[in-house]
Structures are given as structure tokens and as C-alpha cells.
Structure 1
Amino acid sequence: MCSEGSPSPRTICRVHRQRYETRHSPCDNTAMDSLAGVLLVAAPNLLDPNFFRSVVLILEHTEEGAVGVIINRPTTSPLGDELPEWEALLAQPEVVFVGGPVQPDNAVGLAEGVDGSSLAGVGIVDLSAPPGELTAPVRIYAGYAGWGPGQLEAELVEGGWIVALAEPEDVFAVEPGTLWRDVLRRQPGPTAMLATFPIDPGLN
């Protein structure tokens, strides 16, 4: 996975305006189906601090790589002066989220009930323009998670991620700190038991 280090609190507030276009890649039987619109839940043994117990919404997945945002990592930083026109629309909790370690100075915005994303009911918003008539809750992420060609596929084979169906309410969870366990609990079979995995198995 691409990594440029975790953003600092100062960096998180210096969000630039950027839009990411997503594409729906047709599924074919010659390669892995596109994972755009699904969740990647970090397996308990994924210890990379950038992704430890993270839940990533995949926005784009093609043969050129994948792009997503971590949806369960709120900061303590308000939106600040960079995007004041969007502040009133922030979903609870009203803070910037860490979207991933890549380009932490750039901002990605997701809104409920807006077209333009691979997840039904959630859309990517253009943060460079005023909200206009948009009244739906918005989540703003500093940075994103990125994978080059074949990287995500390799990590899936290694067992670093659990693929799960996404629900719109996952993106706008009021208590994102419990999302890792919540998503695992609703998975079928033994996967649901991973939600009980202790943070430090040595203390068990």
C-alpha cells in the first residue's frame, strides 16, 4: 500500500480542495472484480499504524490500482478556515477525518444521497465549489489510501484485509470508533468472531 507517513494535526487543517472521479469497472472473469464501493476491514494481524483496525471505503479499483478513504479515523481538528462554506454540513462528529497516508494536504468529501460514487447513497462532492443547494451531511477526509497496480490484490491474498459489503450509514457513523468491530460483527460465519480479537493478544 502507498504510504507517505501519518498527517500531523497541523497538516490535517491545511486541506486543499480536490475532487476524485470514480469509475465503475465492469467485472470480468479474467481478473479480480472491481472492489469499488465495498469496505476493506483491516485484519487483526495488519499492524501497519496507518491502517491498524481501519475500515476503508474503496472509491476506485481498476487494473491501474485502487483509491479509498479510511472512514473510522476521526481527528480532533475542526474544519477550520480552509473550507468554511462546508462547515455547517459536517456530519457528526464535526471534525476532519484522516482519509489515509497519501497526500494528507488534500481533501476528499463524501455526502449522503449524492450521485457520483460507486456506493449507492453516497457521493463524492466537489469541495472546490460552494455547497449550493446541498443539505445532506458531509464527511471530509484529509488524504487517502492508495495502491498501485496489483498491490491491493497481493495484500488480499496475504490476508491483510477482509472484504465486506458497505452500507451508507457506515460512512456517516456517529461513533466511528466502534465501526471496525461493528462491521466485523455483521459478517457471516467465523469472520464475525474477529470482532472480539483483543488489541494486544498478549494481554489475553
Structure 2
Amino acid sequence: MKNDYLSADYARGHSSLKGQFIMAMPGLTDPNFSHTVSCICEHTPEGAVGIVVNQVHSSLSAKDIFDELNIACTSAAENIPIFLGGPVHIGEIFVLHGPPFNWQGCLMITDSLAMSNTSDILHAIALGRGPESLIIVLGCAGWGPYQLESEIRDNAWLTSPVAEDIIFRVAVEARWEEAVRKMGIEPALLSDISGHA
């Protein structure tokens, strides 16, 4: 059965899912992605890169990251949670953020959302001068050529345009349900059998 919940852009044949959420269907059993919402940051014929936005590290905070990098930080910055962005490049730090977008190595995802992973943004965050809306992430998710498209056709994922409010304002534990509801789907109605609704 073809996934009927592909976003309109993707269904019209646009090959890039950049700027889209992918929400794991209940039948996706990979523990790295069970009930996750991921923001697709880049998608080309060579593959896709995404950031999981609803898994918080159970024991790390920004203070641990700043201490490890010898970056002095304010007390407010110490308590920023650290997210688990996916099982790839787990030692790398990424920041998913709103404006401003003048950081070195800033990759625009949409007109109002970007991903950065350079030291200038980390220093700014540590001093309370970073973007107002942000999450700090360890690792990312990656897919090979056409792997993500294949998984979507196999009903592993729902897709919808990224909604910054879900990333930055909805409680972490409610992000999957809210992202699914934003599509007009009641999460409880999704079957976990082969990912078919």
C-alpha cells in the first residue's frame, strides 16, 4: 500500500525532503527511531541527513559539552538539555536553530530554520548570545542514496513540512503526537501492523 500521507511537495514528484519532518510509524521497530520526529536537514541523490528532535540525553546537559570544549558559560546556558540527534556522527555537536543565521557553516533548512555545527555558535550560546530558539544535539541520522525514499514507500515514515513550534515550543514527550496531529491524523488510529493506517 502506498503511503497516503506523503507531503504534497513530495507527492508531486519533488525529490528533496529537505525541510520536512519524518515521523516514525508505530511499526518502525528500530530502537534509534521508535516514535521519533526527525527534521530532514539535507536531501540529495547522494542521501539524506536529519536530526531527531524528540530524544533528550538522559544524563548530559550543555554544561558537560561546554566543559569538555573548555568554553566558559553562563549559569542559564549550563542547563540547556542535550538531544540525541541520531546514531550517526554521535561525537559531533549540531545546533538546530532559528535566527540569526550568520554563523560559520550555517546550513539553511527553511527560511526560518538552520543547522550549524561550528564553534562560533556554541560560544555565543554559552554566553547567552545565541539564537533565541535552539536545540543542541549530539549525532544525526543518515540515509544512503534513495534509502529514505524507499523507507517512506514502505510506510516506515509519515512526512510533513517542518513546524518550528514543534521543535522549539512543544514539550519533548508530546512532539511525535503533535506532529502527527498537525497532519490531521489522530495518533491512536495509526496501526502498528506494517505501518498502514
**TM-score, normalising length from structure 1?**
0.72
**TM-score, normalising length from structure 2?**
0.74
Partner residue in 2 for 1:139: 135
Partner residue in 2 for 1:164: 160
Decide whether aligned partners of structure 1 residues 114 and 197 sit closer, same or farther in structure 2, where only a CA change above 3 A counts.
farther
**8 Å contact kept, 2:96–2:113:** yes
CA distance in 2, matches of 1:159, 1:30: 18
> Residue 71 of structure 1 is aligned with which of 53, 56, 65?
53
CA distance in 2, matches of 1:150, 1:31: 14
CA distance in 1, matches of 2:162, 2:147: 21
Partner residue in 1 for 2:86: 100
Decide whether aligned partners of structure 1 residues 31 and 196 sit closer, same or farther in structure 2, where only a CA change above 3 A counts.
closer
Shift of 1:64: 0.4
CA distance in 1, matches of 2:10, 2:158: 21
> Residue 58 of structure 1 is aligned with which of 34, 40, 55?
40
Cα displacement string for residues 51-100 of structure 1 (whole angstroms, at most 9, x for unaligned residues): 00000000000000000000000123112113545776759x82110000
Decide whether aligned partners of structure 1 residues 90 and 184 sit closer, same or farther in structure 2, where only a CA change above 3 A counts.
farther
Decide whether aligned partners of structure 1 residues 114 and 85 sit closer, same or farther in structure 2, where only a CA change above 3 A counts.
farther
Counting only pairs closer than 5 Å after superposition, residues 22-41 of structure 1 correspond to structure 2 as 32-41=14-23
2:157 is aligned with what amino acid? W
CA distance in 2, matches of 1:200, 1:155: 15
Partner residue in 1 for 2:4: none
Shift of 1:46: 0.6
2:41 is aligned with what amino acid? L
Bigger proportion of residues as strand: 2
Cα displacement string for residues 127-146 of structure 1 (whole angstroms, at most 9, x for unaligned residues): 32232853423311110000
CA distance in 2, matches of 1:151, 1:78: 33
CA distance in 2, matches of 1:199, 1:28: 23
Instruction: Describe the SS at the equivalent of 2:178.
Output: helix
Percent identity over the alignment is 28
Partner residue in 2 for 1:180: 176
Alignment of 1:125 onto 2:116: yes
1:107 is aligned with what amino acid? I
Decide whether aligned partners of structure 1 residues 28 and 172 sit closer, same or farther in structure 2, where only a CA change above 3 A counts.
closer
Count of equivalent residues: 170
Shift of 1:197: 5.1
Decide whether aligned partners of structure 1 residues 200 and 34 sit closer, same or farther in structure 2, where only a CA change above 3 A counts.
closer
